[in-house]
Chains A and B, each alone.
Chain A
Amino acid sequence: MTTATTDAGVAHADDHHDDHGPAKGIGRWLYSTNHKDIGTMYLIFSLIMFFTGGLMAMIIRSELAVPGLQFVHPEFFNQMTTMHALIMVFGAVMPAFVGLANWMIPLMIGAPDMALPRMNNWSFWILPVAFSILLSTLFMPGGSPAGGWTMYPPLVLQTGDSFPFLIFSVHLMGLSSIMGAINVIVTIINMRAPDMTLLKMPMFVWTWLITAYLLIAVMPVLAGAVTMLLTDQFFGTSFFLAAGGGDPVMFQHIFWFFGHPEVYIMILPAFGVVSEIIPTFARKKLFGHDSMVYAASCIAFLSFIVWAHHMFTVGMPLTGQLFFMFATMLIAVPTGVKIFNWVATMWRGSMTFETPMLFSLAFVFLFTIGGFSGLMLAVQPADVQYHDTYFVVAHFHYVLVPGSVFAIQAAVYYWLPKWTGYMYNEALGKVHFWASAIFVNLTFFPMHFLGLASMPRRIPDYSTQYADFNFVASVGAIGFGLSQLLFVWVLLTCKKGEKATDRVWEGSHGLEWTVPSPAPYHTFETPPKSRIVNEAFD
């Protein structure tokens, strides 16, 4: 230790920067404060969780393939739906975006690293602990939580031994997210290259800045809600227990005050990714950069005042229902602006269709379909019919799978050459894309019909009238699951590809493309000159 300190001191005294590479062995990862290493760890962790949650989805869809119970008991089925959601939301989608933020934000704004590197390390390493705790509940007496990821009391209070572990793991996930968000905000506000004004920032950086504020605003609310569950269960309080004068509906209000911004936490960075990729492959600047920023901010603000549209059937006063319906409908306006701007970016561009572009285009198409069903769900009387049916399942999977997940995969294909220095296999990438795009629709589109035919969510078995479309959805789901193995194959074999250039893509713009491929362990140790910043965006 002494030597290391002295060495560092000497290095500093000489003002001499060695291009010191990563530490050797496991220590490189355990103690890492390097934004690229931590970004990589987030992304790998997310991929593992994606397959863990995906395996649970396979169990769910296998059971639902035909009527009758074939594989699992109802209580285990409920554990699977609950765990699938918790893992996909907190373990797969959110960490993937944090990983992308870690890798790309410093490179995109010309910063040497994240502002708070030690906290960065901590916010990552909390996650494997949190999810080990959560997954360990599968082996506990009574099994893992089965009351749904929404954890509505009083049902969630019937959870067995796993209950306190559920609460604790949610606390840890929240802690990790909050620290990650603080890091993103501090980095973006303080560490931009001298000439990079706020409105010059790339859209991915902008959407992440807004997302980070949402995280800081709502994760403590979730922590509060689950803490109240904990005290209701163990310390004799009655926040949500009617028998003690509490109100079960209050939990839903608090939960969805977190939950609705949460859905934008999972989609805003996706908007950012797509706003980076479409201009690159259209060889044309993003249309309406500033209005994109205002639209994202507007969506973020509105996300705080629409929560009760998840609760149109709990029995709210008419005025409350009207308010939440109108506010929800309003979100269509800024969301529409974003979609129109993407289309206007493509308009009269010079497009090519590499894998990242294909995923981004599918994002625009299929997210819009999810937006349409969202608009339908906003209409309160119709929502009374749709609520808690497969129509809702179809809706949120359309915005989350061909929405968030496609954007994440687009981002990986887009920046992989910058990370590894190698071009992935384009033909395999395209096969992965087409398989994913076909199967995702085969899985989730029939769920609209099931919902309209009034099949409730979260049931392990169903009446025979729902058999046909359920079978189609299950075939699609298995196909989608298998297609994702191709993604891993493409990632593992990318080193066989040709060497990537610094620009990588013909139409790429931005500071991340001014550094070599693969990006060296340390980049922008001195801030880029204004000339470079300005040229990078021309």
Chain B
Amino acid sequence: MIRNLFLGLLGLVLASTAEAEWAINMPKGVTDLSLETYDLHMMVFWWCVAIGIGVFGVMIYSLIKHRKSRGVKPATFSHSTTAEVIWTAIPVVILVLMAVPTAKTMVRMEDSRNPDLTIVVTGYQWKWHYKYQDTDVAFYSSLARSSLEARRKESGIDPFSVPNYLLEVDKPLVIPRGAKVRLLVTANDVIHSWYLPAFSMKKDAIPGIINETWFRANETGTYRGQCAELCGKDHGYMPIVVEVVEPKAFDAWLSSSATEL
């Protein structure tokens, strides 16, 4: 146990020098909607910064200037209707400014009509099942063997030595770039949640309910996520990996996968 901890710490030091993660902001993602989401996130963030500078600025000024040790005599006012009307009205205006663009994005997010491809995603304890609708292609996707071995308590394997530790699967979901992909998300046992940050997508997988969502990935690449709803002891061990490939490569993959079956 101690040895593991030591290995972990050592790895941590190596990681912070070599890889220098320290990421502090949301990734922008690779769909139009994930970019919009990022912009909304930053808009609200900067509003908060502005309000924070105002409120904390006044407060800090007061904390410095209005102290007894400086011999200040307390003022006696305890009410000002004008001030209170102003600081009720201004936040309302700011909220309206935030709400309008947000509502517009939400309307676009809901529009799952006319998909190019539909995939049924089913959550299991503790893996995902994908079925490409109108084809024979269907498979389970579970934690890759490399992580599976390293994740055990006292495994003696340094997580830093495992590529994509806990974020690698045996068989990833493959998606064509630029296609509108509709997901029908459900679960077989308990509630799970299909979370892929790069697509700004999180949809609960609920037994007895089929949730609909969609995305259109603009860039090829491998994208990683995880189950986001507590689903039992191995909740932390059901990653999601999506490979976005060129449409031609996708067609080839789909037909080869169909013949595999």
A→B interface (CB under 8 Å): 65-75, 78, 146-148, 152, 154-155, 158, 242-243, 246-249, 282-289, 291, 313-315, 318, 321-322, 325-326, 329-330, 332-333, 336-337, 339-341, 343-353, 361, 364-365, 368-369, 372, 375-376, 379-382, 384-385, 387-389, 449, 452-454, 456-469, 471
* Shortest distance from the beta carbon of A3 to any chain B beta carbon, whole Å: 54
- Does B212 touch A at the CB level, under 8 Å? yes
B201 and A361 contact, CB distance less than 8 A: no
Q: Which of A65, A74, A318, A385 contacts B236 (CB 8 A)?
A: A74
Contacts of A73 in B (CB 8 A): 153, 233
Task: Give me 12 other A-B pairs in contact (C-beta within 8 A), A66-B12, A333-B95 excluded.
Answer: A68-B159, A147-B232, A249-B209, A352-B68, A376-B44, A384-B37, A385-B41, A453-B21, A459-B236, A463-B164, A465-B23, A468-B12
Q: Which of B5, B52, B74, B84 contacts A349 (CB 8 A)?
A: B74
Given A247-B208, A286-B78, A348-B74, A66 contacting B11 (CB threshold 8 A): yes
Q: Which 5 A-B pairs have the closest CB atoms?
A: A242-B208, A66-B8, A459-B236, A315-B211, A285-B78
A384 and B55 contact, CB distance less than 8 A: no
Please give me the residue from chain A that is nearest to B22 by CB atom: A468
B21 and A467 contact, CB distance less than 8 A: yes
B78 and A325 contact, CB distance less than 8 A: no
A242 and B207 contact, CB distance less than 8 A: yes
* Shortest distance from the beta carbon of A511 to any chain B beta carbon, whole Å: 19
Which residues in window 64-122 of B have CB below 8 A to A?
66-69, 72-80, 83-84, 87-88, 91-92, 95, 98-99, 102-103, 105-107, 109-110
* Shortest distance from the beta carbon of A253 to any chain B beta carbon, whole Å: 13
Given A287-B79, A351-B63, A382-B40, A67 contacting B68 (CB threshold 8 A): no
B4 and A75 contact, CB distance less than 8 A: no
A456 and B236 contact, CB distance less than 8 A: yes
Please give me the residue from chain A that is nearest to B2 by CB atom: A70
Given A337-B87, A468-B22, A376 contacting B56 (CB threshold 8 A): no
B16 and A468 contact, CB distance less than 8 A: yes
- Does B227 touch A at the CB level, under 8 Å? yes
B229 and A388 contact, CB distance less than 8 A: yes
B66 and A347 contact, CB distance less than 8 A: yes
- Does B258 touch A at the CB level, under 8 Å? no
Contacts of B91 in A (CB 8 A): 332-333, 336
Please give me the residue from chain B that is nearest to A341 by CB atom: B84
B107 and A318 contact, CB distance less than 8 A: yes
A349 and B75 contact, CB distance less than 8 A: yes
> What are 20 A-B interface contacts by the 8 Å CB criterion?
A66-B11, A68-B151, A70-B5, A74-B233, A155-B230, A242-B208, A243-B207, A243-B208, A288-B79, A291-B84, A314-B211, A350-B67, A353-B67, A376-B45, A381-B105, A384-B37, A384-B200, A452-B26, A464-B15, A464-B19
A454 and B197 contact, CB distance less than 8 A: yes
Q: Which of B9, B15, B74 contacts A350 (CB 8 A)?
A: B74
B68 and A158 contact, CB distance less than 8 A: no
Please give me the residue from chain A that is nearest to B25 by CB atom: A452
Contacts of A313 in B (CB 8 A): 193, 202-204, 228
A340 and B78 contact, CB distance less than 8 A: no
B200 and A368 contact, CB distance less than 8 A: no
The 8 A CB mask of B196-223 against A (1 = contact, 0 = none) is 0100111110111101100000000000
A350 and B236 contact, CB distance less than 8 A: no
B195 and A372 contact, CB distance less than 8 A: no
A382 and B44 contact, CB distance less than 8 A: yes
Q: Which of B8, B21, B106, B190 contacts A68 (CB 8 A)?
A: B8
Contacts of B19 in A (CB 8 A): 464-465
The 8 A CB mask of B36-65 against A (1 = contact, 0 = none) is 110011001101100110011011001100
- What's the Cα separation between A289 and B88 when bound, in Å? 15
- Does B234 touch A at the CB level, under 8 Å? yes
Please give me the residue from chain A that is nearest to B72 by CB atom: A350
- Does B252 touch A at the CB level, under 8 Å? no
B21 and A465 contact, CB distance less than 8 A: yes
* Shortest distance from the beta carbon of B153 to any chain A beta carbon, whole Å: 4
- What's the Cα separation between A382 and B197 when bound, in Å? 11
* Shortest distance from the beta carbon of B230 to any chain A beta carbon, whole Å: 5
Q: Which of A155, A329, A468 contacts B190 (CB 8 A)?
A: A155
Contacts of A325 in B (CB 8 A): 99, 102-103, 106
- Does B189 touch A at the CB level, under 8 Å? yes
Please give me the residue from chain A that is nearest to B160 by CB atom: A464
B→A interface (CB under 8 Å): 1, 4-5, 7-9, 11-12, 15-16, 19, 21-27, 33, 36-37, 40-41, 44-45, 47-48, 51-52, 55-56, 58-59, 62-63, 66-69, 72-80, 83-84, 87-88, 91-92, 95, 98-99, 102-103, 105-107, 109-110, 150-155, 157-160, 164-167, 189-191, 193, 195, 197, 200-204, 206-209, 211-212, 225-237
Contacts of B151 in A (CB 8 A): 68-69, 461
* Shortest distance from the beta carbon of B55 to any chain A beta carbon, whole Å: 6
Contacts of A463 in B (CB 8 A): 164-167
* Shortest distance from the beta carbon of A190 to any chain B beta carbon, whole Å: 29
- What's the Cα separation between A246 and B102 when bound, in Å? 33
Q: Which of A248, A285, A315, A321 contacts B212 (CB 8 A)?
A: A315
Q: Which of B59, B155, B200 contacts A346 (CB 8 A)?
A: B59
* Shortest distance from the beta carbon of B197 to any chain A beta carbon, whole Å: 4
Contacts of B105 in A (CB 8 A): 381
Please give me the residue from chain B that is nearest to A289 by CB atom: B78
Contacts of B9 in A (CB 8 A): 66
Please give me the residue from chain B that is nearest to A67 by CB atom: B159
* Shortest distance from the beta carbon of B216 to any chain A beta carbon, whole Å: 15
Contacts of A74 in B (CB 8 A): 233-237
B207 and A456 contact, CB distance less than 8 A: no
Please give me the residue from chain A that is nearest to B166 by CB atom: A463
- What's the Cα separation between A68 and B193 when bound, in Å? 23
Contacts of A242 in B (CB 8 A): 206-209
Given A242-B208, A336-B87, A336-B91, A67 contacting B202 (CB threshold 8 A): no
- What's the Cα separation between A346 and B57 when bound, in Å? 13
* Shortest distance from the beta carbon of A388 to any chain B beta carbon, whole Å: 4
Please give me the residue from chain A that is nearest to B34 by CB atom: A385
Please give me the residue from chain A that is nearest to B60 by CB atom: A365
- What's the Cα separation between A270 and B210 when bound, in Å? 42
A388 and B228 contact, CB distance less than 8 A: yes
A70 and B4 contact, CB distance less than 8 A: yes
Q: Which of B41, B76, B84 contacts A382 (CB 8 A)?
A: B41
* Shortest distance from the beta carbon of A108 to any chain B beta carbon, whole Å: 19
A372 and B66 contact, CB distance less than 8 A: no
Contacts of A154 in B (CB 8 A): 189-191, 207
B225 and A454 contact, CB distance less than 8 A: yes
* Shortest distance from the beta carbon of B255 to any chain A beta carbon, whole Å: 33
Most buried by B among A74, A146, A339, A457: A74
- What's the Cα separation between A380 and B104 when bound, in Å? 11
- What's the Cα separation between A246 and B207 when bound, in Å? 10
- What's the Cα separation between A34 and B107 when bound, in Å? 58
